[in-house]
């Protein structure tokens, strides 16, 4: 059962209008990403008796389990306002008090709304004992750059017409501050490893520690109804094994193992940390199997290529998901990107040095740019080449040439404007929403910087 029906119908009509008005020059990637927004239309899905998943309320799924004398919330969404909205929908189903909140991991998009579920009560708040372990090193190092890159990745500062969605979640609404910090509400019950059985409002709930997207991740298993809440170790997209906002190495082998462990539960219903639930045992088994296999394939191929002496730049051409996996909707690169995973695996195991001694002490950007300009016949000729490259459709090369031009003269507006155009062209062709948002945000920043110099 899905509701409210009226709202859903209106949105369906809106989506149809959108697809008919799509412009002719829209790339297949843009079209596909726009279609993806249907996955996050605001909705409360009945998963099975007593289990509901609210989708489209920013940014994670917000889930409710109904027990005898209370409810349990699995992940609280990103903002108190979005959580209040989801709770209002749940309150149409039951007035029972919130007895427990479970955080599948510490990311702000799953915890930031928790305060809205307290309702003056004192619920059990469950998480892993190492809750917040990913963000702790950033805080300790005083890294503010991650916030800026996070906003770029999320497209938080883009105008509404430039934000399609985030690949696994709706676009950030205007004026919402994006944070990836822990929510203000902290866990008051924790467990470290393995499986922890709790009983809340008469519901038997297993919390199972499985490292994956983060090292403080858990999944939630309801043995009686065979519902599995995967947190972010499964959502319908190739996983974000490396987030371009900047993350420590995410152990992709553990991530695959987490899917294997979840698979063995034999779930009938799978509720992801983002995107709509998968209903039916066969579909759940297929999804978790493919996800595990895809991650393992990319890991194994990357290691194989590394052992042949390939550099990251070579590896990204070598490691390709087999078509049988790549064509699955839940493995498309809506959010994460296979190339970024390959680079992350290399970095995670061998660090920054690609093995080529020319790169032990590379030329600084300006010194290299001076030599490139000389090759081209001077800076003006280099700019002309960059313009030409973009005209010919080689936006990547145009952007790289612009980097040299910017290094030569950081105050000149032309290279910045040209690079902005090149990044915009790259964004149009990229399915991965995080990369696309990043391109478009930096393009916007470059245009603003160029204008400031006029
Ligand atoms: Zn998430």
- Rounded to 5°, angle at Cα 241 from 164 and 331: 60
Distance 196 CA to ligand 1 centre (A): 22
Distance 286 CA to ligand 1 centre (A): 22
Residue 265 has pLDDT above 50, yes or no: yes
Distance 107 CA to ligand 1 centre (A): 6
Round to whole Å and give the CA distance between 264 and 207: 15
Distance 218 CA to ligand 1 centre (A): 13
What is the rounded average pLDDT of the residues 413-439? 97
Distance 58 CA to ligand 1 centre (A): 10
What is the rounded average pLDDT of the residues 65-82? 96
Q: Give the chain's mean pLDDT.
A: 91
Distance 371 CA to ligand 1 centre (A): 44
Distance 65 CA to ligand 1 centre (A): 19
- Name 115's Cβ contacts closer than 8 Å, sequence gap at least 6: 80, 83, 183, 184, 185
Round to whole Å and give the CA distance between 106 and 137: 14
| Tens digits of residue pLDDT in 80-93 | 999 999 999 999 99
Distance 263 CA to ligand 1 centre (A): 20
Distance 363 CA to ligand 1 centre (A): 39
Distance 2 CA to ligand 1 centre (A): 23
Distance 232 CA to ligand 1 centre (A): 6
Residue 406 has pLDDT above 80, yes or no: yes
Distance 447 CA to ligand 1 centre (A): 31
In this predicted model, which residue has the larger pLDDT, 206 or 1? 206
Return the HEC string of 362-376: CCCHHHHHHHHHHHH
Distance 450 CA to ligand 1 centre (A): 35
Distance 50 CA to ligand 1 centre (A): 24
Percent of the chain with pLDDT over 70: 93
- Name 37's Cβ contacts closer than 8 Å, sequence gap at least 6: 15, 164, 165, 170
Instruction: Classify the C-alpha dihedral 338-344-348-351 as positive or negative.
Output: positive
pLDDT for 138 equals 73
Domains identified in the chain and CATH numbers: 42-135+180-290 (3.60.15.30), 358-453 (1.25.40.880)
Cis omega before residue 4 (within 30°)? Answer: yes
Distance 104 CA to ligand 1 centre (A): 9
pLDDT for 136 equals 75
Lowest mean pLDDT among 2-16, 267-281, 341-355: 2-16
């Amino acid at each position: 059962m899905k509701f409210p029906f009226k709202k859903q119908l209106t949105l369906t009509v809106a989506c149809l209008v959108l697809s008919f008005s799509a412009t002719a020059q829209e790339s297949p990637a843009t079209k596909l990403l726009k279609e993806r927004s249907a996955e996050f239309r605001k909705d409360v899905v009945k998963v099975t008796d007593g289990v509901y998943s609210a989708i489209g309320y920013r940014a994670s799924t917000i889930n409710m389990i109904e027990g005898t004398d209370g409810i349990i919330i699995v992940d609280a969404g990103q903002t108190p306002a979005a959580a209040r909205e989801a709770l209002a929908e749940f309150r149409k189903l039951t007035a029972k008090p919130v007895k427990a909140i479970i955080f599948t991991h510490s990311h702000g998009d799953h915890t930031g709304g928790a305060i809205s579920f307290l309702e003056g009560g004192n619920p059990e708040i469950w998480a892993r004992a190492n809750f917040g372990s990913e963000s702790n090193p950033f805080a300790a190092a005083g890294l503010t750059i991650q916030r800026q890159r996070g906003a770029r990745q999320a497209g938080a500062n883009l105008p509404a017409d430039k934000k399609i969605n985030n690949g696994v979640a709706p676009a950030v609404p205007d004026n919402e501050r994006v944070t990836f910090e822990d929510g203000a509400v902290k866990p008051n019950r924790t467990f470290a490893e393995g499986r922890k059985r709790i009983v809340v409002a008469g519901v038997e709930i297993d919390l199972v520690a499985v490292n994956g997207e983060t090292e403080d991740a858990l999944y939630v298993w309801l043995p009686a109804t065979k519902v599995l809440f995967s947190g972010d170790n499964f959502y319908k997209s190739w996983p974000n094994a490396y987030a371009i906002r900047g993350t420590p190495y995410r152990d992709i082998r553990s991530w695959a193992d987490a899917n294997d462990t979840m698979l063995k539960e034999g779930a009938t219903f799978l509720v992801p940390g983002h995107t709509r639930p998968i209903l039916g045992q066969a579909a759940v088994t297929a999804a978790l199997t493919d996800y595990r296999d895809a991650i393992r394939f990319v890991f194994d191929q990357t290691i194989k290529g590394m052992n042949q002496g390939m550099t990251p730049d070579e590896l990204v051409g070598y490691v390709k998901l087999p078509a049988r996996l790549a064509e699955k909707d839940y493995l498309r690169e809506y959010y994460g990107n296979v190339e970024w995973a390959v680079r992350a695996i290399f970095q995670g195991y061998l660090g920054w040095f690609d093995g080529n001694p020319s790169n032990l002490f590379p030329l600084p950007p300006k010194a290299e740019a001076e030599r490139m300009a000389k090759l081209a016949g001077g800076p003006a000729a280099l700019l002309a080449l960059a313009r030409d490259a973009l005209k010919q459709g080689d936006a990547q090369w145009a952007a790289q040439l612009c980097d040299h031009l910017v290094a030569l003269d950081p105050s000149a507006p032309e290279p910045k404007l040209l690079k902005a155009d090149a990044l915009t062209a790259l964004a149009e062709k990229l399915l991965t929403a995080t990369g696309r948002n990043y391109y478009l945000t930096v393009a916007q920043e470059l245009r603003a910087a160029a204008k400031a110099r006029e």
